[in-house]
Amino acid sequence: MSVRKRNREGRHPQRKRAAKAKDKAREAVVLLEQARALIAEDDAGQPAIKHVYAAIHEAEGRANMLEDWYRRTYSSPAEENLPR
């Protein structure tokens, strides 16, 4: 990575990218939940609903994994002991 690019991205570019990925994963879960609610309003018996539930389950698992990884990687030991 060039010095110029490193300076543009700030001091901790990896941490910023990791935080963005974690936030985007959680945002995907929220959007899928909104899609599920809209489909359910229309007709809960639609064949697409089972695929939406599967996508929500997978996205939730990925978001949880990323959040856990981010916490373990970037949190200080003092932050680990804080109640959630």
Quickly state the pLDDT bin for 50 (edges 50, 70, 90). Answer: confident
Spans of all domains in the chain: 33-77
Helix crossing, 48-74 with 13-43: angle to 10°?
160
Choice between 41 and 65, residue whose per-residue pLDDT is larger: 65
pLDDT-based confidence at 57, cuts 50/70/90?
very high
Alpha-carbon gap, residue 4 to 9, rounded angstroms: 9
pLDDT, residue 31, reads: 96
